[in-house]
Structure 1
Amino acid sequence: MDIERPSNVTLFDFVGGLQLLRNGNIRTAVPVILIGVCIAGALCNLLVLLVFIRDFRKGRGSEVKALLASVACTDLLILLLCAPVRAVTYYKQIWTLGSFVCRTADWLQHSCIVAKTLLLAATTRSKHTFMEIGGGDDFQSASWIHGALVFIWLVAMLFSLPQLLFASLVPYSLDEVVCVSEMSVCASEFMLLFYKIYPTAVFVVPIIFTLAYHTKTLHGAVNNAPNPRHQSKVTLVLLCLSGALGLMLLPEWGTFTWIRLGFNRPPVGLLIFADVLFYTCSAVFPVLLMTMYDDVRQGLVFLWFIVTCRPRKHPPTTACTMCVKLDGNSAEACANEVGAQAKDKTFPDVEHFWTGRRNTHVEDEHDPVPWERDEKMLQSGEQVIQSDLKNECP
């Protein structure tokens, strides 16, 4: 992984993944892990986005859901655009993706990292309650969400500009090139100060602020919130997401700052672990939402009923029809509806049986003149026999 550093360069680091490792195990294992994480994470994030889109269309959107949907979109960008570049680089062990990808690979990845952290920090100002369509507090009137998204992405792309400016291709052999970040001596003093401020401003401070705010909010949600149960659950989800983000991105930011501040290069194993953990974070986020967030979990149950009922060629059963037509998200309500219908329904044969039983005349055991009843039965029996004989005789 060593390459000769030019004399007029103070920083020399690989861009787009580690190169020149010449290790067969890494060449095989790391790309397979990254591809598996990409596929699983992309599917989970798409499911979460489908649930949020359905909630918005049903009038059950909220500011928190809008920001979490933006986080899911950011994770999709990371998994679909950034992770494949790393997988190809680890497999080829040289740079084969051209100059444009070399310049934009780390810039796009850092833009997504910063945007994701700031989006979670923005949830501290968002409301947890649903906003019905047509109400006075319509979700569409919360214009600060659109302004916050534009501001966050502008800040993220501007702070990540050095990753774009200093990236370039460097020849390694006659037919091989590597993608590296070269920082000249004239810019070293300013960039040394910048790389001290950059991780602190876009990672350390937002994560600490978000964790502290959600911890305080969770502590007081039970007694002070208008809907304490719902708000405390949502706050717990946001707290877990922020904690997971801080822990899983700590190796990535640690190794990045370590190299940029001029210390010795971290071990190769730590750099690979930081890369894999960073992409795993984008796959873990939707899993946390699907397991902890009630609205997302119930929306997935509804989508499952739609998928299992619609493809049938025969007319759908009552249970499927009811589950698809339910306006709410609760699968329990669907089960209750189906159970009530099955309870009230009487099968035809059983209905005739019980009708006959209800119409049967029960004789009184304490009849004071039972012989009269017997005589009537004998007379009716004789009349039936005589009528049968008349019908049989010509």
Structure 2
Amino acid sequence: MLENSNQEEMDIDRPTNVSFFDFVGGVQLLRGEDTRTAMPVLLIGICVSGAVCNLLVLLIFIRDFRSGRGSEVKALLASLASTDLAILLLCAPVRAVTYYRQTWTLGSFACRTTDWFQHSCVVAKTFILVATTKAKHTLLPRAAASQPLHSPTWIHGALAFIWTVSMMFPLPQMLFAALVPRGDDFVCVSEMPVCASDFMSLFYKIYPTVAFVAPVIFTIAYYTKTLYTAVNHAPSPRHQSKVVLVLLCLSGAVWLMLLPEWGTFTWIRLGYNRPPAGLIMFAQVLLYACSALSPVVLMTMYDDVRQGLVAIWFVATCRRDKRAPETKCPQTEGNGAEVAANAVGNAVSQTKEATFPDVEHFWTGRRNTHVEDEHDPVPWEKEEKML
């Protein structure tokens, strides 16, 4: 555990015409070498493991769609895995670099867009989970599944709407971000002027409610009701209730792990006392761990994903065995003609040794047939045969 003295950030002067001040892209100007090494290692580990799991899930869904086993839920879960992949590959490394350097070294463009892009992905992730409540769990028609990742039209429209809204909501994260010199270095901060404080105070109350609280309540209520209906009234309750249970567990895990991030974000923006730096870092770690945990939930609970993972494992194993054929093919001496002749001879001998019961009984009966009749009208036939 990090000591409190190492978690506190250095004081930085706030301009007089600014009503809000916060770091962007990770907490900067931290004291302590343990934070400088522990946080980057932790974030990189989460990034690598989560990226591998999300790529496996995407590969499984692509395989299902190409083989005609796609569904609306799988299309949305593939979009969710793509969003998690973007968070892990584009957002987590920025925080790792920031914690290692303890200042901002990635330039003005990255300073303005890093928090905006991360919030866009997080909001899109929550809205995609809400969209899965409308998706059907039945398979798409095979004719429609002939094209890779084909899905109904409403899914394309829903994803376009989700990403448009998700990129518009966090625009203040881009507008108020700026580089501030700190000696020979720079820090990336968010400065909100006093003239916009009233409007932004209202906005920062509406934004978390629409982007987090409302989706949580709606999704949990919907899946709870659907799970109850699937178990008691659905024509195939076993399969449908399993899918609904997976989506309920996935949504619950996402909401719980995103709660600290949204809590600290709202806490800071509403002008209350600044939370400890350790709590802010813990919330950020949970945010990235959430993107790494989502594919694990799918691979352990979703039957189709688990079966696809087993199939991919078998394919990889077979390819590895083909590279070493000597483990399966026995060694033989001699040329190819001798081997072929021996194989043919063995096949012929096995055929001769094989006895069909009906034929054997037929010929045995013919051999054991012995007619003994004293009143045979043509006895000379026997005599001729005997001669």
TM over 0.5: yes
* Alignment-derived partner of residue 5 in structure 2: none
Does structure 2 retain, via aligned residues, the 8 Å contact 1:117–1:202?
A: yes
Where structure 1 has 5 or more consecutive residues not aligned to the other structure, the ranges are: 319-346, 362-394
* Alignment-derived partner of residue 37 in structure 1: 46
Q: Tell me how far apart the structure 2 counterparts of residues 252 and 135 of structure 1 sit (CA, whole Å).
A: 40
Q: 1:157-208: per-residue Cα shift (whole Å, max 9, x none)?
A: 00010001000000111x2000000000000000000000000001010011
Q: Tell me how far apart the structure 2 counterparts of residues 246 and 350 of structure 1 sit (CA, whole Å).
A: 70
Query: 5 Å matches for 1:234-273?
Result: 234-273=243-282
Closer/same/farther in 2, CA of residues 100 and 257 from structure 1, 3 Å limit: same
Q: How far 1:222 moved relative to its partner? A: 2.2
Query: 5 Å matches for 1:82-231?
Result: 82-134=91-143, 140=150, 142-173=152-183, 175-231=184-240
Q: Tell me how far apart the structure 1 counterparts of residues 37 and 324 of structure 2 sit (CA, whole Å).
A: 48
SS in 2 for 1:181: strand
Closer/same/farther in 2, CA of residues 258 and 349 from structure 1, 3 Å limit: farther
Q: Please report the TM-score for the alignment, with normalisation by the length of structure 2.
A: 0.81
Q: Please report the TM-score for the alignment, with normalisation by the length of structure 1.
A: 0.79
Does structure 2 retain, via aligned residues, the 8 Å contact 1:309–1:316?
A: no
Q: How far 1:356 moved relative to its partner? A: 8.3
Q: Which moved more, 1:224-233 or 1:162-171?
A: 224-233
* Alignment-derived partner of residue 384 in structure 2: none
Match of 1:63 among 68, 72, 89: 72
SS in 2 for 1:94: coil
SS in 2 for 1:247: helix
**Which one-letter code corresponds to 1:84 in the other structure?**
P
Q: Tell me how far apart the structure 2 counterparts of residues 290 and 183 of structure 1 sit (CA, whole Å).
A: 43
Q: How far 1:269 moved relative to its partner? A: 1.2
* Alignment-derived partner of residue 376 in structure 2: none
**Which one-letter code corresponds to 1:80 in the other structure?**
L
Query: Are 2:58 and 1:54 aligned?
Result: no
Closer/same/farther in 2, CA of residues 314 and 27 from structure 1, 3 Å limit: closer
Closer/same/farther in 2, CA of residues 353 and 38 from structure 1, 3 Å limit: farther
* Alignment-derived partner of residue 283 in structure 1: 292
**Which one-letter code corresponds to 1:128 in the other structure?**
H
Q: Tell me how far apart the structure 2 counterparts of residues 112 and 60 of structure 1 sit (CA, whole Å).
A: 28
Does structure 2 retain, via aligned residues, the 8 Å contact 1:255–1:266?
A: yes
SS in 2 for 1:280: helix
Closer/same/farther in 2, CA of residues 360 and 263 from structure 1, 3 Å limit: same
Does structure 1 retain, via aligned residues, the 8 Å contact 2:65–2:150?
A: no
Closer/same/farther in 2, CA of residues 68 and 351 from structure 1, 3 Å limit: same
SS in 2 for 1:310: helix
Identity among equivalent positions (%) equals: 68
Q: Tell me how far apart the structure 2 counterparts of residues 105 and 67 of structure 1 sit (CA, whole Å).
A: 25
Q: How far 1:95 moved relative to its partner? A: 0.3
Does structure 1 retain, via aligned residues, the 8 Å contact 2:26–2:95?
A: yes
Does structure 2 retain, via aligned residues, the 8 Å contact 1:112–1:156?
A: yes
Q: 1:343-373: per-residue Cα shift (whole Å, max 9, x none)?
A: xxxx989968974898999xxxxxxxxxxxx
Q: CA RMSD in A?
A: 2.6
* Alignment-derived partner of residue 311 in structure 2: 302
* Alignment-derived partner of residue 337 in structure 1: none
Query: 5 Å matches for 1:312-391?
Result: 312-313=322-323, 355=354
SS in 1 for 2:21: strand
* Alignment-derived partner of residue 377 in structure 1: none
Q: Tell me how far apart the structure 2 counterparts of residues 285 and 44 of structure 1 sit (CA, whole Å).
A: 9
Q: Tell me how far apart the structure 1 counterparts of residues 144 and 226 of structure 2 sit (CA, whole Å).
A: 26
Q: Tell me how far apart the structure 2 counterparts of residues 21 and 146 of structure 1 sit (CA, whole Å).
A: 44
SS in 2 for 1:44: helix
Where structure 2 has 5 or more consecutive residues not aligned to the other structure, the ranges are: 1-8, 329-345, 362-387
Match of 2:16 among 7, 32, 51: 7
Equivalent residue pairs, number: 332
Q: Tell me how far apart the structure 2 counterparts of residues 91 and 184 of structure 1 sit (CA, whole Å).
A: 30
